[in-house]
């Protein structure tokens, strides 16, 4: 495989760049652009050879080197169902057109962007139509699909992924995916085209608190849909409690459980003494400090039936990042960064098909 030059716009903490790396794609020049100073600190630490370009509005396109791939997850607040749905009239989501300008002038072979499901319906579907027309007008064709992170990790996160390629050139067939990573068969493609999104069995998630599936590579198949098991007091988002089969969509905050979700901590066997090993599992007594969940140690804690929200490390796992990817800053920033990030295994699978397919 030849070395490519990669421009990562709205780069956050590097989910696109990490997915590209995990797909085995060799990168030469590597540029990134974001306005979040805390996210930029993480990106610089994790990709020390990358060139920081500042806000996308300030990029001098004429000074960029050859660009082979552009990736971006442009701000979704104006498109999200949870937002005010201003669409491309909003100041944040309109930054999409700056990314398109860079693509038009640098002519990368491919570009990939990610955005919320609401992009399909924003302004009664007009915004997505405008995006397609804009892409066609600059000489690119594309393919896209609504993918769910829960097909790869135990987090329910539906996002649109779009792959653009220069019109007239050969391009790999990236989509469609289905939940086990294979392509849809004929009947499933027909159902998808008709708007009936196919639900088959997803991967074994085990427990979203530890995101074990991602770590142990289990091949067992079960349904890992969201399951609300109760509510604390008045029924609203911050008070809803879910089981540990699959996490809610991780958003850009952590306060009161509204962003990461509240989850039941299921009871385990009570040991006779602290740190006693039982069948390969180490336990702590009630009242002791909680230890960190780690992949290489099977741990449990006897605290009865209680409720807690996800930790920043667990949010990293549920987005496919290594433990501690965002450490060294406040939990508020870490939650925000994971909520804004792309899911690394999804990007990895796309890049594998794009460059290794």
DSSP string of 285-330, one letter each residue = -TTSPPPPP-SSS-EEE---SEEEEPPHHHHHHHTTPPTTTT-SS-
If we measure between CA atoms, which residue out of 151, 156, 70, 150 comes closest to residue 114? 70
Burial grade of 312 (CB within 10 A; 0-12, 13-18, 19 or more): buried
What residues does 230 pair with on adjacent strands?
241
Q: What Å distances lie between residue 317 and 121, 130, 173, 230, 331, CA to CA? A: 30, 35, 29, 25, 15
Looking at residue 357, its pLDDT comes to: 66
Provide the token pair at 186.
């004929």
pTM of the model: 0.76
Distance CA 128, CA 118 (A): 10
Is residue 337 within 8 A of residue 42, CB to CB? The reply is yes
- DSSP annotation of 270 reads P
Model pLDDT, residue 203: 29
Contact 139, 167 (CB under 8 A): yes
**Other residues' Cβ atoms within 10 Å of the Cβ of residue 124:** 8
Q: Assess whether the previous peptide bond of 176 is cis (omega < 30° from 0).
A: yes
Q: Which domains does the chain possess?
A: 4-198+343-356 (3.40.50.150), 212-339 (3.90.120.10)
CA distances from 180 to 42, 66, 127 (A): 31, 36, 31
Per-residue confidence (pLDDT) for residue 76, from 0 to 100: 52
| CA 266 from centroid of its chain's CA atoms | 27
Tokens of 255: 């306060």
Contact between 268 and 302 under an 8 Å Cβ cutoff? The reply is yes
pLDDT the model gives residue 177: 84
* Nearest one of 333, 326, 328, 327 to 13, comparing CA atoms: 326
Question: Please, are residues 353 and 177 in contact by the beta-carbon 8 Å criterion?
Answer: no
Q: What is the pLDDT of residue 212?
A: 39
Tens of pLDDT, residue by residue, the chain (357 residues)? 689 999 999 999 999 999 999 999 999 999 999 999 999 999 999 999 999 999 999 999 999 999 999 999 977 554 444 444 454 454 555 788 899 999 999 999 999 999 988 888 888 888 888 889 999 999 999 999 999 999 999 999 999 999 999 998 888 889 988 655 444 444 434 434 333 333 333 322 223 344 433 333 333 334 457 888 888 888 888 888 888 888 889 988 777 777 888 888 766 544 444 454 444 444 444 444 444 444 344 444 333 468 888 899 999 999 999 999 999 999 999 999 999 999 999 999 999 999 986
Where are the strands (E) in the chain, listed by range? 4-9, 27-33, 51-52, 69-72, 110-116, 140-148, 158-166, 202-203, 221-222, 228-231, 240-242, 262-265, 277-278, 281-284, 299-301, 306-309
The DSSP call for residue 30 is E
- pLDDT of the residue at 345: 95
pLDDT of residue 195: 34
CA distance 146 to 152: 14
Helix, strand, or coil (residue 6): strand
Q: Which residues contact 97 (CB under 8 A, 6 or more apart)?
A: 88, 134
Q: How many CA atoms lie within 13 A of 79 on its CB side?
A: 25
């Amino acid at each position: 495989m030849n070395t490519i030059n990669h421009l990562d716009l709205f780069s956050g903490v590097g989910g696109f760049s990490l997915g590209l790396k995990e797909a085995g794609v060799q990168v030469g020049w590597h540029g990134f652009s974001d306005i979040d100073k805390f996210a930029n600190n993480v990106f610089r630490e994790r990709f020390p050879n990358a060139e920081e370009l500042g806000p996308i509005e300030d990029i001098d396109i004429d000074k960029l080197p050859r660009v082979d791939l552009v990736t971006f997850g442009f701000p979704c607040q104006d498109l999200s169902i949870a937002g005010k749905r201003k669409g491309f009239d909003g100041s944040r989501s309109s930054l999409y057109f700056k990314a398109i300008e860079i693509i038009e002038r640098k002519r990368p072979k491919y570009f990939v962007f990610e955005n919320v499901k609401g992009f399909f319906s924003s302004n009664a579907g007009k915004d997505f139509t405008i995006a397609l027309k804009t892409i066609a007008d600059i000489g690119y064709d594309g393919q896209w699909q609504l993918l769910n992170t829960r097909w790869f990790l135990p987090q329910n996160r539906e996002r649109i992924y779009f792959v653009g390629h220069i019109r007239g050139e050969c391009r790999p067939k990236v989509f469609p995916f289905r939940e086990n990573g294979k392509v849809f068969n004929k009947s499933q493609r027909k159902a998808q085209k008709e708007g009936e999104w196919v639900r088959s069995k997803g991967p074994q998630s085990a427990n979203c608190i530890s995101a074990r599936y991602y770590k142990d590579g289990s091949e067992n198949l079960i349904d890992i849909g969201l399951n609300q098991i109760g509510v604390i007091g008045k029924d609203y988002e911050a008070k809803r409690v879910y089981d540990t089969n699959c996490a809610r969509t991780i958003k850009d905050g952590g306060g009161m459980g509204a962003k990461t979700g509240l989850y039941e901590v299921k009871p385990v066997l009570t040991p006779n003494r602290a740190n006693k090993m039982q069948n390969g599992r180490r336990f702590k007594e009630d009242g002791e400090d909680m230890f960190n969940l780690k992949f290489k140690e099977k741990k449990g804690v006897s605290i009865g039936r209680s409720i807690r929200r996800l930790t920043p490390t667990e949010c990293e796992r549920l987005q496919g990042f290594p433990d501690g990817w965002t450490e060294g800053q406040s939990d508020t920033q870490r939650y925000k960064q994971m909520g804004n990030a792309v899911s690394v295994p999804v990007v990895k699978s796309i890049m594998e098909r794009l460059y290794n397919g």
